[in-house]
Amino acid sequence: MLSQVHTTVKWAKNKFHSTEYNDDELSIFDEKQIYNVHSFQKTHSAYTKTPLHQLKQLAEHIQVADLRVKDESYRFGLNAFKVMGGIYAIGKYVADRLGMSMEDLSFAALQAPQVKEKLGELTFISATDGNHGRGVAWAARELGHKSVIYMPKGSSQQRLAAIQREGAYADITEVNYDETVRMCANLAHENGWIMVQDTAWEGYDDIPLWIMQGYASMAKEIVEQLQEDNAQPPTHIFLQAGVGSFAAAIAGYMVHTYRDNPPVIVVVEPDQADCYYRSFCNEDGKREIVSGDMNTIMAGLACGEPNTRAFRLLSQYATGTFSCSDNISALGMRVYGNPLQSDPRVISGESGAVTLGLLYYLRKLSDDPKLCSVISLDSDSRVLVISTEGDTDPAHYQKVVWEGLCPN
Ligand X SMILES: Cc1ncc(COP(=O)(O)O)c(C=O)c1O
Binding site for ligand X (CB under 6 A): 80, 82, 129, 131-132, 198, 240-247, 300-301, 303, 351-352, 388-389
| CB 133 to ligand X: min, Å | 9
| CB 29 to ligand X: min, Å | 15
> Which residues belong to the active site?
82, 129
Chain centroid offset of residue 223 CA: 17
| CB 111 to ligand X: min, Å | 26
Q: Which DSSP category does 378 fall into?
A: S
Question: Alpha-carbon distance 297 to 59, whole Å?
Answer: 26
Residue 204 has φ and ψ, to the nearest 5°, of -135, 95
| CB 342 to ligand X: min, Å | 27
- Return the percent helix, strand and coil in the chain, to nearest 5: 50, 15, 40
Complex with ligand X: residue 129 or 288, whichever CB lies closer: 129
**Distances 272 to 22, 134, 289, 290, 291 between C-alpha atoms, Å:** 32, 24, 12, 8, 9
Q: How many CA atoms lie within 13 A of 39 on its CB side?
A: 12
Contact predicate 382/232, CB 8 Å: yes
| CB 403 to ligand X: min, Å | 22
Complex with ligand X: residue 105 or 268, whichever CB lies closer: 268
Contact predicate 116/164, CB 8 Å: no
Complex with ligand X: residue 263 or 352, whichever CB lies closer: 352
Question: Alpha-carbon distance 244 to 47, whole Å?
Answer: 25
Angle (CA) 64-66-72 rounded to 5° is 120
Complex with ligand X: residue 95 or 279, whichever CB lies closer: 279
Q: Determine the straight-line distance between the first and last CA of the chain, rounded to whole angstroms.
A: 15
